[in-house]
Structure 1
Amino acid sequence: MSEPAFRSRLLEAYQAMPRQLRAAAQWVLDNPRDVALLTMREQARRAGVTPASMTRLAQRMGLDGYENLRALHAESLRRGETEFSDKAGALVERRRQGGDGALAFDLMETLERHLAALCRPAAIEDVTKAAAMLAAAGRIHVLGYRSSYTVACHFAYVYGLAGGAVRLLDGPGGTGPDALREAGQGDALLAISVKPYTRAAVELADYALARGLDIVAITDSVVSPLVARARAVIIVPTESPSFFHTMAPAFAVAEALAAILAATAGDEALAAVRAMERQFKALSTHI
């Protein structure tokens, strides 16, 4: 069994578990790297359960013991640490065999499939549900780190042009999350994160949830740590022939959300866009 398959099964079984096992399961889901690296006793201490609960969790999931669960996560960790370099090697070999044209075709064909998947009714329903939740929020805070950062920036910029009450959680010296101290019930957090998930994104989602914000997630898997925290989830494919995962589908979703929100705002959004156009003209912003 692979680690993603195990996580998927664990999520399915989670609600039917007794309280102690749920606590152990939640810790395993939230800390896959530590599952591979820490002793079972230390993991139990951090999860706030007994070591026996960790063993029972593994056995409930069909494993002989907790060491099997640790080994499963350790193998996934080893694969993850070499994934970028392995894919980079495959990329170089593909170019050597087929040339630049073949490589470009592979990339574009993959993106075509990904965007087509986002046009399916279930995906469109997820987008419209997320948009409705964001439209009902007093203010939208937007979170994204590393490759997800540019997607977060793009959404905040585009929706901001339409007068949206939106704030990117970014600032010098790590001050971006400070804005959450003003956030509370009635606000929303649009959290964007794909594998490898950043710890800070998950921790800030937890903090926002504790403050009463509704979480809307753009992520890449049903076993993403954001899924359990979000009221609305949009799953975007990230697979790419390149050595690095693609964020193009996430960009498409961000643009769709911004467009829906602007259309929902109606005349207010139109007035904001016109005001922005006047400012662009006054400042000679564009050539």
Structure 2
Amino acid sequence: MDARSAPASIEELLDRILEVSDGLPKRLRQCAEYVAANPDRVAVSTVAEMSEGAGVQPSAFMRFCQVLGFSGFSQMQRLFRDSYAQNWPDYATRLEKLRESGAGSPSALLAEFVEAGRLSLENLAKTLDPRALDTAIKALSEANMVHIVGMRRAFSVASYLAYAFEKMNVPTMLHDSVGNLDSRHAIREGDAVIAITFAPYSPETVALAEAGARAGAKVVAITDSLASPLRPVTPLLLTVSEADFGDFRSLSATLSLAVALVVAVGTANRARKNGIP
């Protein structure tokens, strides 16, 4: 095993992968690229499944773990299991769980969801990096066009951003899956992409973010974890952790972040038009 100590967090692990990947042999580099693109799979996969996904032998994947400072795959997997966000149950299961817990009247349910929203907002205020927020706003305000993508649960946030930016006279394009049309070719250098996805992550959102980065656009990610597959795509990562009640998650904090982005970008654009530095 390499002498270096094992990473103590997923963030440190992903940073180490970026640090060493260029100097790795081909097979180990395949392992690095696969883990960086699919960190959510490490916690629930065997070493055989991970090596198959990376297109290498299990022995090569074990060697990759050791290069990072782990004794083997099991030690690396424990790091992910400690923080891995499990896929959420379907709505029927969530409703059954609420019934079993005796959630009570609609008024009681409302009170619980209000409390979950309050906790989410407090956590956002404490944890969001103001420097990352400032950098994201600068990138969005300087963009020729803002492209927005968010599927499934994130679609309400994406559609709100598109609506609000339009009201702020910010050139905006909402990317969705209607008609299965591929609109990623509309992204140009000098544009910006807002990609929104939460566990279990949308591969369509990640793919469009990757296409935007390849096109030379700045990518701003809104996601729920540093282990998000958007992390290898962009350093502009705005993480939002939503509290839940009965396995139902609100979007209170995420929508508040979206409102802040819209107002800040609109203000910056107006200041630029008026010649205010």
- TM-score calculated relative to the size of structure 1: 0.75
- Establish whether residue 202 from structure 1 lines up as the match of residue 240 from structure 2: no
- 1:164 and 1:269 in contact (8 A); partners too: no
Choose from 247, 254, 264 the match for 2:251: 247
Query: How far apart, in 1, do the equivalents of 2:128 and 2:85 lie?
Result: 34
The structure-2 alpha-carbon separation of the partners of 1:72 and 1:81, relative to structure 1 and needing over 3 Å to count, comes to farther
- 1:191 and 1:205 in contact (8 A); partners too: yes
Aligned to 1:183: 187
* Percent of aligned pairs sharing the same letter: 26
Query: How far apart, in 2, do the equivalents of 1:169 and 1:217 lie?
Result: 15
How large is the RMSD of aligned CA atoms in angstroms? 3.5
1:69 CA drift (Å)? 6.3
Query: How far apart, in 1, do the equivalents of 2:87 and 2:128 lie?
Result: 30
Which structure has the highest helix share of the two? Answer: 1
1:218 CA drift (Å)? 0.8
Larger deviation, residues 17-26 vs 200-209: 17-26
The structure-2 alpha-carbon separation of the partners of 1:161 and 1:82, relative to structure 1 and needing over 3 Å to count, comes to closer
Aligned to 2:14: 11
Aligned runs of 1:129-148 on 2, under 5 Å? 129-148=135-154
Aligned runs of 1:43-192 on 2, under 5 Å? 43-45=53-55, 51-60=58-67, 65-66=72-73, 80=87, 82=89, 87-94=94-101, 96=102, 99-120=105-126, 122-170=128-176, 172-175=178-181, 177-178=182-183, 180-192=184-196
The secondary structure found in structure 2 opposite 1:138 is coil
Larger deviation, residues 72-81 vs 117-126: 72-81
Gaps of 5+ in 1: 271-287
Residue by residue over 1:8-29, the C-alpha shift from the partner in whole angstroms, topping out at 9 and shown as x without a partner, is 4521432343434454123023
Larger deviation, residues 78-87 vs 247-256: 78-87
Query: How far apart, in 2, do the equivalents of 1:206 and 1:159 lie?
Result: 23
1:111 CA drift (Å)? 1.0
The structure-2 alpha-carbon separation of the partners of 1:93 and 1:126, relative to structure 1 and needing over 3 Å to count, comes to farther
Structure 2 counterpart of 1:264, which letter?
A
Query: How far apart, in 2, do the equivalents of 1:119 and 1:60 lie?
Result: 37
Residue by residue over 1:130-185, the C-alpha shift from the partner in whole angstroms, topping out at 9 and shown as x without a partner, is 1111001111100100011110110011110121111101263111x42x313221
Larger deviation, residues 119-128 vs 133-142: 119-128
Gaps of 5+ in 2: 1-7
The secondary structure found in structure 1 opposite 2:237 is strand
- TM-score calculated relative to the size of structure 2: 0.78
- Establish whether residue 36 from structure 1 lines up as the match of residue 42 from structure 2: no
Query: How far apart, in 2, do the equivalents of 1:66 and 1:117 lie?
Result: 32
Choose from 230, 235, 240 the match for 2:239: 235
- Which is greater in Rg? 1
